[in-house]
Amino acid sequence: MDIFETVRTTALEMSALDSVEGSNLKEDYGLDSLSVTMLIVKLEEKFNIEINLGLLTQGNIQTIDGICDIVKKSLEG
């Protein structure tokens, strides 16, 4: 399962948009903090992981790449 594509597709499904050019979850996808939390929960289910809350910081939950890094670290255990 491709992590980037899964995160991007899941975020896109949660937005009201058909497509997105950028990677910023708030500015490009229109996701608020509750939506980002829901995105994290959906990704935990899709990847069958539990994301450590210590990995979630303001700096790394703003972009698709940041979320991908969190998922990768969680998959590594």
What's the CATH code of the domain at 10? 1.10.1200.10
* Runs of H (alpha helix) within the chain: 3-14, 33-47, 64-76
Split into its structural domains, the chain has a count of 1
- Structural domain including 44 reads 3-76
Q: How far apart are CA 28 and CA 50, in angstroms?
A: 26
pTM, to two decimals:
0.92
Model pLDDT, residue 14: 94
Tens of pLDDT along 8-58?
999 999 998 989 999 999 999 999 999 999 999 999 999 999 999 999 999
Model pLDDT, residue 1: 75
